[in-house]
Amino acid sequence: MKSLGRHIIAEFYDCDKNILDDVEAIENHMKEATYETGATIVNSSFHRFLPYGVSGVVVISESHLTIHTWPEYSYAAVDLFTCGDDVDPWKAFSYLKKVLNSQRVHVVEHLRGKYDEIGIPENSPHKMEV
């Protein structure tokens, strides 16, 4: 089924606590995950909370990647939302699973803007007109 976008919602468990609490490492990993997808970075913003935890977003031309970490639980919540046929959010997922040293994951993919539900013919390429 064709859609405007793919949205992966991932739960990373049993991760490296030190990485999850390092705002620079998290930002670098999220940007590298973006490059892995083939997406184009527009902007990013990351914040380290006290006493621990990091939240951040990488805004991409094709949507966004976000992360929220709880180092005290070795846990990270990640959203990977990409639009178009030229980017693959699963590449970002695989990269992040590896670099966060996640031992266990739960992940689901949602198709966003399914063609049949918004009235775009399945055999017609999506063209946005502004």
For the annotated catalytic residues, the residue numbers are 63, 68, 83
Contact 89, 62 (CB under 8 A): no
Distance CA 77, CA 128 (A): 31
- At residue 103, what is the residue type? Q
Helix (H, G, I), strand (E, B) or coil at 73: helix
Distances (CA, A) of 76 to 4, 23, 62, 114, 119: 26, 13, 22, 28, 36
Nearby residues of 68 by Cβ (< 8 Å), 6 or more positions away:
53, 54, 55, 76, 77, 78
Q: How far apart are CA 129 and CA 111, in angstroms?
A: 22
